Homo-oligomer: A and B are copies of this chain.
């Protein structure tokens, strides 16, 4: 389906359920997609960071995008990550996710290699030139170790390179600068400014962002859809209450013992434990080399679900 211009609403970065031996669990993945569509989400984003894309082989990535495209069958727009170190490798991912039917690709700045803003611009221009579908920039400094400045994003939007931005930088002032820049340029009315935050979706929408891509929406898609609709209705008090409920739920990402595992193991382990406890996926396994949550830590996730009324 054509990529909306702009894309609005809730676009969950779909988790990738795995079997106990770490293969893609397609039936669970499709149940998760149904769970999200039932929650009312506006689009889906596969192969993002919450999908553990950095941990999936190319074969596994292809299985994910092909399975979800076939299952969704155009009900909502489908964005796919094309996450790799540099332009030539990203283009390989763009090729198979678009061949499979993705409606847009989501691409970070180069990483592993050190980059200059001129090289980042060159990267996006080359990707956009070769991509058959729109390109959304993915600003995620915690992974890429560089921040996409608003000026660079607006320059690449103005020349038609970028169709949107998923801002997972935590820098709301920077997102505001992009939103303001888009608004003052008539040619950019189709640009999609999306926040990747779970915790300040109401703030982002209030200042003019088009939508949100929160990892926690895997666990509670209906909650984020409610939040989005309240914001669109201008009911800011109710929106804030819903956002605060979701912030409390997000506390689950801290269940893992920091002496034993990193923040990604804990956060993705918690999302998957929650989906398992909610009966959506068959197995809470995360990809290697992430450290699994203990039984006790998974019970901690259950307490967060219960407190949020989700069990």
Q: Give the contacts of A263-311 with B (CB-CB under 8 A).
A: 263-265, 287-291
Given A173-B200, A176-B199, A197-B173: A54 in contact with B86 (beta carbons within 8 A): yes
Is B112 in contact with A83, judged by CB distance below 8 angstroms? Answer: yes
A85 to B119, CA, bound (A): 21
Cβ-based interface call for A189 (8 A): no
Bound together, the chains give a CA A263 to CA B261 distance in angstroms of 21
Residues of B within 8 A of A112 (CB): 54, 83, 111-112, 143-144
Interface string of A64-102 (1 = CB under 8 A from B): 000000000000000000010111110110000000000
For the complex formed, measure the closest distance between the CB of A283 and the CB atoms of chain B, giving whole angstroms.
16
A229: interface (CB < 8 Å):
no
Q: In this assembly, does A5 line the interface, its C-beta being within 8 Å of a C-beta of chain B?
A: no
**A4 on the B face (CB < 8 A):** no
A60 located at the interface, meaning its Cβ lies under 8 Å from any Cβ of chain B in the complex: yes
Give the residue of B143, B173, B208 whose beta carbon is less than 8 angstroms from that of A113: B143
How many residues from A make CB contacts under 8 Å with B?
A: 67
A179-216 residues at the B interface, CB under 8 angstroms? 180, 197, 199-200, 202-203, 206-208
Contact status A22-B170, CB under 8 Å: no
- In contact, B126 and A289 (Cβ under 8 angstroms): yes
* Contact (Cβ within 8 A) B173 A199: yes
CB distance from A258 to the nearest CB of B (A): 8
Residue A244, interface by CB 8 Å: yes
Q: Tell me if A164 counts as interface (CB < 8 A to partner B).
A: no
Alpha-carbon gap, A118 to B7, bound state (A): 40
Q: 15 interchain pairs (CB within 8 A)?
A: A54-B110, A54-B112, A57-B89, A57-B92, A110-B289, A113-B290, A115-B289, A116-B262, A116-B291, A118-B261, A122-B288, A122-B291, A170-B172, A173-B199, A207-B240
Interface residues of A (CB under 8 A from B): 22, 54-58, 60, 83, 85-89, 91-92, 110-116, 118-120, 122-123, 126, 142-145, 170-173, 176-177, 180, 197, 199-200, 202-203, 206-208, 234, 236, 240, 243-244, 247-248, 258-265, 287-291
**Extra inter-chain contacts (11) besides given A55-B113, A87-B289, A173-B247, CB under 8 Å:** A22-B88, A54-B85, A57-B91, A60-B88, A86-B287, A118-B261, A119-B265, A119-B291, A170-B173, A172-B199, A200-B207
4 smallest CB-CB distances across A and B, nearest first, come from A116-B262, A173-B199, A123-B289, A122-B289
